[in-house]
Structure 1
């Protein structure tokens, strides 16, 4: 990737920091100035939001650093055998406060093992779920996992606006408008670009299938494969 292209992508990801940073500043300012006006429940909700957005900012910073490492060939993975279920649970928790996140349904067999850097796989799945929530309006979102031989396959499926036919691979090349009826949200394309690099470094892959059901409802299915195995 050229330096101008890298700079553009990092700039877009830095822009992603603005929303959670504004939230943290706003809620913390209200607590400082009007502490006595809020109930204990309200204070807890504010602090919970601050904590969630601080975690989101931390993930974004980690992704910027990983992007730089990936582009320079210095991305180091700390792979081990991990049960997939808890990683999926953490990724779901990361997006739990997004509007519409309650529509996510996960199906992960107990004892499903992946050979992966757990923190980076969590980041990849968080990005996929966040992307699905942003693009699926009120439609259902599902995460399904299964084992096939020496590979584990993870699918994130939404019934959102879909992807323009013939452009399925472009969505992994960086921030650009790729969904049929909407531009890619700032940072979304970068998250997918990074996801591909991280998964390929694992010896895995990520691909996209554009969907359309019998009723003409569009959607997208992201398919992640990683070395792993089913329950013994």
Structure 2
């Protein structure tokens, strides 16, 4: 049931004495039309949405006080005609209509019928401003455009190079072939990563993400990452260190999803390399109690950039938020937070001592609750 449906149901159950009070408390617009087709009540939210005063609508015939038309310009009241409806319809689902002042509103109708005759005695209209939905649709269109662009760029590269190799293989030197195949592999990996992140967003939003928990050597996992960077174009740009407690006491046992941890730290390191403008330092240490665990594992990812403004530190974890630079899809950090929290951990961003950004990931140590005891 939508909030409009709940509002209408609540108003339908109210007596005439308290209907106005109930209507005033509703978060959605409510208009009540009586058996004589006159507007008996319009709450404050309805008047705000309709951009009018109570005197303009209350007590007037509904076709005059609240003329509504569909997208084709047809009179909605004449089309629905609730008072001459001999069927058992209980109302109409949410519909986008044009209000008297020309702006669009979302309207839901419920009919209150006589128990004896079945005649419609009241029509309850729930009203919602269509602006929020339209804004969401624009945002969705923007997101689809961004994702399409991110998918198209590597696909263009892959198809271009494979076409060239297939048709002109003998014309390229071995070095040129190797470079082209390496580029194809990198772009295919980029495509796979983007699709994986989109699927993860869907799973996170629907609470259907499944973790495959097992013992994890986080230090070994991060060292494997360092080897990849040393062999790639970012040799020397990423350093791995152990914190004081980790060097002194060693690292506690961890149970987690190894593939998801790789995804978390790959995204954080790539984000730091892309936006930090210099080297990246990854520090692995032991932290205090977290979510019932006596110890936690803490990973700091520090870059050498200008840092992140305080006002943006929560925004960067939002879905598809990429800041003014437009240098990424804005998927990575949203997925990072979702995966970390799915493990019972936390992630935040702060300043480091050099003034750059510091991402802090805390994960519970020891056996997970489902296996402990």
Question: Same fold, TM exceeding 0.5?
Answer: yes
| 1:13 and 1:186 in contact (8 A); partners too | no
Q: In 2 relative to 1, CA 72–82 (structure 1 residues): closer, same or farther, beyond 3 Å?
A: same
Q: In 2 relative to 1, CA 64–20 (structure 1 residues): closer, same or farther, beyond 3 Å?
A: same
Q: Kindly name which structure, 1 or 2, has the bigger radius of gyration based on alpha carbons.
A: 2
Q: In 2 relative to 1, CA 160–167 (structure 1 residues): closer, same or farther, beyond 3 Å?
A: same
| 1:9 and 1:174 in contact (8 A); partners too | no
Question: Which structure's relative contact order is higher, taking Cα pairs within 8 Å and 6+ residues apart?
Answer: 1
CA RMSD of aligned residues (A): 3.0
Aligned to 1:22: 156
Q: How far apart in 1 are the matches of 2:198 and 2:336?
A: 12
Moved more, 11-20 or 200-209: 11-20
Displaced runs of 4 or more, over 6 A: 93-98
Deviations, residues 59-103 of structure 1 (Å, cap 9, x unaligned)? 111111111111111111111111113432555577779865641
Q: How far apart in 1 are the matches of 2:174 and 2:229?
A: 24
Matched, 1:136 2:270: no
Q: In 2 relative to 1, CA 125–166 (structure 1 residues): closer, same or farther, beyond 3 Å?
A: same
| 2:276 and 2:357 in contact (8 A); partners too | no
Q: How far apart in 2 are the matches of 1:90 and 1:10?
A: 34
Aligned to 2:262: 122
Matched, 1:147 2:286: yes
Q: How far apart in 2 are the matches of 1:98 and 1:175?
A: 28
Q: In 2 relative to 1, CA 196–14 (structure 1 residues): closer, same or farther, beyond 3 Å?
A: farther
Matched, 1:69 2:214: no
Q: How far apart in 2 are the matches of 1:7 and 1:205?
A: 31
Q: How far apart in 2 are the matches of 1:105 and 1:206?
A: 20
Deviations, residues 137-189 of structure 1 (Å, cap 9, x unaligned)? 2x2111121223521111111111321133212211233354xxx525231x3
Q: How far apart in 2 are the matches of 1:106 and 1:13?
A: 32
Aligned to 2:217: 83
State the Cα distance separating 1:203 from its structure 2 match: 0.3
**Whose helix proportion is higher, 1 or 2?**
1
> Structure 2 unaligned runs (5+)?
1-132, 288-293, 367-373
Q: How far apart in 2 are the matches of 1:158 and 1:169?
A: 18
Q: How far apart in 2 are the matches of 1:76 and 1:46?
A: 37
Q: How far apart in 2 are the matches of 1:127 and 1:170?
A: 17
Count how many residue pairs are aligned between Structure 1 and Structure 2: 219
Aligned to 1:185: 327
| 2:229 and 2:238 in contact (8 A); partners too | no
Other structure's SS at 1:129 match: helix
TM-score normalised over the length of structure 2? 0.52
Other structure's SS at 2:360 match: strand
Other structure's SS at 2:365 match: strand
Aligned to 1:224: 361
Aligned to 1:169: 314
Matched, 1:54 2:191: no
